[in-house]
Structures are given as structure tokens and as C-alpha cells.
Amino acid sequence: MADTSSGSFGDWRHRASHFYLLLIFFSFPLFSVPCPKGLCSTPVEVVTVHLVSKGINDAIAKALLYPGALFTKLESIVAENEPISLPDWDTLLDNITASLKDKEQNDRTFGLGLIIGSYLCLAGAIACVLGPTPLSAFGPLLILWSIYYEGGDLKDCYALPMFSVAVFCALSGISLSAKVPRGTNHSATSGDSLSNDEKSKPSSSNKKTK
């Protein structure tokens, strides 16, 4: 008989990992941290600002930003009755590039833990396409440590409520179940071995016959 409890738990883990992917790539606000852009609120923003500041090809940065811009545009269409349209590809980086040219804003740098954690969030979200993976947990936990470490000195550095949902979904990639042999199978195996031993022994009646 199939174990329905373990099956439902596995289904839940898959749903949570897919929801984590959506949270990351559709750029739901998870935290607030000072950055060269001013304030960054998603791992995608942190990675994009870091890539642009290092002179990486703009097409890569725009590709990372586009899903979040698409979701924001859809939200505006539904909530504010804006005309149906797609985000403008050419202007996706205007806000970031303008901020990086501002010396006062550009002096606000990232912590190393936040940068590494954001890259790990993206890597974990990509891996979640194939299902739950322990890789998804490293990024949010590292960002959480970075916010805790730097939040005492920076009033603009804190986690938003949605961050707890992201951590919860990310931890679903860690499987706590272990495969334990069933007692019935063990007893059946031992019973079979005993019956085989009895068959191998010569019967007492055969010993008495001459």
C-alpha cells in the first residue's frame, strides 16, 4: 500500500520550491538594503546593480529585470487600469544607470554577504525548476545573516514580511525524511532465511533409514 502522507509531503515541497522561484524572478520585495541605486529590495536588484557597476553587458542585466518589470506592469494594469502594454526594454536600466552616476548614491556599497547571498538566491531559484534542492536554502540564510549583521548600524537595512515566506519555501528543499527499512520486510526476510535453513537440513526419518 502506498504511503499517502509521504506523497503529499513531496507534492508540498515541489509547490514550495516553485513558489520560491516565482518570488525571486518576479522580484517580490523581500528586504530593504542600502545600495548604489539607493535602496534595493530583491536579490535580482542586488545582482543587477552589481553587474551594471562592473560593466557587464546590459542585455544580461535587462533579462534579469524583465520578469519583475512584467509583473509590476501587470499589477498596474489590473489595479490602476493602465493601458495594456509591455515594459519598455530600452528603459529598464535607466533608473540604475542614473543612480550609479550620482556620486552620493554610488558611495553606498553592498556587503559581501548580501552580494553572495543574492547570487545564490538566483542559482537556487534556477535549480528549483527541476524540483526541491538544498541549494535554495543557502541564499536566503546568507542574506538574513547579512541583514542581521549590518542592520544594527544601518536603519534602512531590514527584512520585509515576505522574506519569511521566501525562507520557508527555500527550506523546503532540505529533505528531512530518511529511508528506514520496514519491520515487516525484515521479518519476512528472516522468516524466508529460516525456512531455507530448515529445507537444507536432512530430515530425521532419512537418518533412520539404512
Q: Which residue has the higher pLDDT, 101 or 210?
A: 101
Angle, helix 43-53 to helix 58-80, in steps of 10 degrees: 140
pLDDT tens-place string over residues 101-131: 775 555 567 788 999 999 999 999 999 988 8
Mean pLDDT value across residues 135-142: 94
- Report for 95-109, 122-136, 145-159, 192-206: range of highest mean pLDDT: 122-136
Q: What span, in angstroms and rounded, lies between the C-alpha atoms of 93 and 196? A: 75
Q: What is the predicted pLDDT for the residue at 168?
A: 94
> Is 60 exceeded by the pLDDT of residue 134?
yes
pLDDT tens-place string over residues 46-104: 999 999 988 888 999 999 999 999 998 888 888 877 788 888 999 999 888 888 877 55
Q: Tell if the pTM clears 0.75, that is, is over it.
A: yes
- Please, are residues 117 and 139 in contact by the beta-carbon 8 Å criterion? yes
Q: Which residues 6+ apart lie within 8 Å of 124 measured at CB?
A: 20, 24, 133, 135, 136, 137, 138, 139, 170, 173
Spans of all domains in the chain? 9-171
H helix or E strand, kind and range, residue 73: helix 58-80
Q: What is the predicted pLDDT for the residue at 153?
A: 72
Reported confidence tier of residue 43, pLDDT bands at 50, 70, 90: very high
The pLDDT mean for the chain works out to 80
